[in-house]
Structure 1
Amino acid sequence: MDKHAWLFVLALGSMAALPSAQATEPGGTHAPEVAADLGPDRDAAMARILERWVPFIRETGKTDLTEWHLEMKGLIGKADLSALQRASERVTYAGMKANLQGRIISDEDAIGLAAERSVELGLTDEQTKALGDIDRDLVFVPLAPCRILDTRIAGGQIAANTSRAIDVTAVGNYAFQGGDSTDCSGASAAGSFAAALLTISVPGAASNGCLSAYAFNATQPVTHTLDFPLGIPISTTVSVQLDQSALSNELSIYASAQTHVVIDIVGYFINPAEPVLTCVNTAQTTLPISAGNTGNAVAPTCASGDIETATLCEATSWDMPLVFINAGTCSAKNNSGSSATLRAARRCCRVGW
């Protein structure tokens, strides 16, 4: 997505938690976890930000992921809960980032700032304001070639200077159009999708002519999808936008001269799946610390594929304050008169599809 080259996903990275100290009363079980305002509200805000911006990461190429990851790690780690929640409600990149930095800015003002920035990036106003489009920001699903139309078997030739409506999806199979008797590897049941990659063939017409393939119920384009000569089979493979409304047909084929038409689907374009954020805590590392001494408890690492989002520390004594919480390490000094235990764990998250 070139027009969004400067937009990138808010990937949840390892965040430095703010130092804090919580513990149980002497004789209690264990202290509440502490980690920079952590809790369901903070997790939910981070998840909303992730869901809003993650679709862009796969389509941008002008921003270095490592640099962006480090920048956002710092912003999230320093942001308090209210700033994080405000950022999660923004629909512009500039507004989200400004809120993480502690500035309160409306989306309209953010759009203005982004437009100024777009001059440097060579983007148009419309490109700057666009945050994604259900007709353009799509995922391609390839298929083995499968026939969805053959007018030689069903329907007969398309008459000169007429259009024929074609079903592409939401059908049981394609036999009624002279096509395959299966669902073409799920294409017929994929729901409404924005476009299809089609191989369109003319098996040999009685005169020269042209075809135009376009979305059903749309204005017929002046351009040609395929020009065909007299008596010579010819084909082309092309992506065609489809109608996504509740209408029964998705595609129209116009023929300037009477001809049979054969169509094979070789793939389709759908809206990207929404990401699912899953977070778990690792097991705890426990470290006994004798009276008057200090200690560092290092939490188990996250599982492969997970990203650390927080360090969780616990102390079993109110007299053992936590002095350092970062990157899975919890440090404390036991100021009590007896031994106490320091515990460390990590919060680990991954994005599924």
Structure 2
Amino acid sequence: MLSTNRCFVLLGIAATAVVCTSPAASAQTGLLFTPIAPCRIVDTRNAGGTLTSGVPRTITVNSGGPTANYSSQGGTSSGCGIPTDAKSVFFNFVVVAPSTIGDLQAWPVGTTIPAASISNFANLPGFNIANGIAVPVCTTSCATGDLNVQLNNASAWLVVDVVGYFK
């Protein structure tokens, strides 16, 4: 829902988020958010193993279409309903059992790694850090995947659920 101050209130099963945009940005994008039931696309405990510090990993998000099989990434084999023309996806990233203090970055394939992280974490036994955030995905020349993720200063498993998309 769009409020008068140009903030979207995203209501999900597991979380609620408020996303605010400037009038110019919302006038240019015109993207519509479509919520979906939380759907696991990555679980490196099941496939792929831990992420290593400083080494990007490319994941498939929307290039496989609504019925994509994510089992090679440790996710569902039955698709999540994410269309190929999604421009941005709302994710829940969970860093599991990190080796030490670190951060997680995510960015679209074919673009430059951002300076900012999307999650900061520490090695706290029994406590896994989660963060829900909308991240743009690759929209052109995405043959190798849609989204890069990278841990810095630590190794860990990564779990990624999708809860909606913008198009």
**TM-score normalised to structure 2 length:** 0.78
In the TM superposition, 1:1-353 aligns within 5 A as 127=24, 133=28, 136-171=29-64, 172-184=68-80, 186-187=81-82, 190-231=83-124, 232-248=127-143, 249-256=145-152, 257-270=154-167
Identical counterparts, % of pairs: 30
Post-superposition offset of 1:132: 5.0
Task: Indicate the residue corresponding to 2:15 in structure 1.
Answer: none
Letter matched to residue 32 of structure 2: V
**Which amino acid is the alignment partner of residue 155 of structure 1?**
G
Number of residue pairs matched by the alignment? 144
Shift of 1:246: 2.9
Indicate the RMSD between aligned Cα atoms, in angstroms. 2.4
Q: Contact 2:63–2:146 (CA<8 Å) still a contact in 1? A: no
Structure 2 unaligned runs (5+)?
Answer: 6-21
AA partner of residue 255 (structure 1): L
Deviations 1:219-269 (A, max 9, x none): 111111011111431101000011101312111111102111100000000
Residue ranges of structure 1 left out of the alignment (5+ in a row) = 1-57, 63-122, 271-353
Amino acid of the structure 2 residue aligned with 1:265: V
Q: Which residue of 2 aligns with 1:334?
A: none
Quick one: distance in 2 between partners of 1:144 and 1:60?
A: 24
In the alignment, the residues of structure 2 paired with residue 237 and residue 228 of structure 1 have an alpha-carbon distance, to the nearest angstrom, of 14
SS of 2:72's partner is helix
TM-score for both structures, normalised by structure 1: 0.38
Deviation of the 1:181 alpha carbon: 1.3
Distance in 2 between residues matched to 1:141 and 1:150, nearest whole Å: 23
**What SS does structure 1 have at the residue aligned with 2:56?**
strand
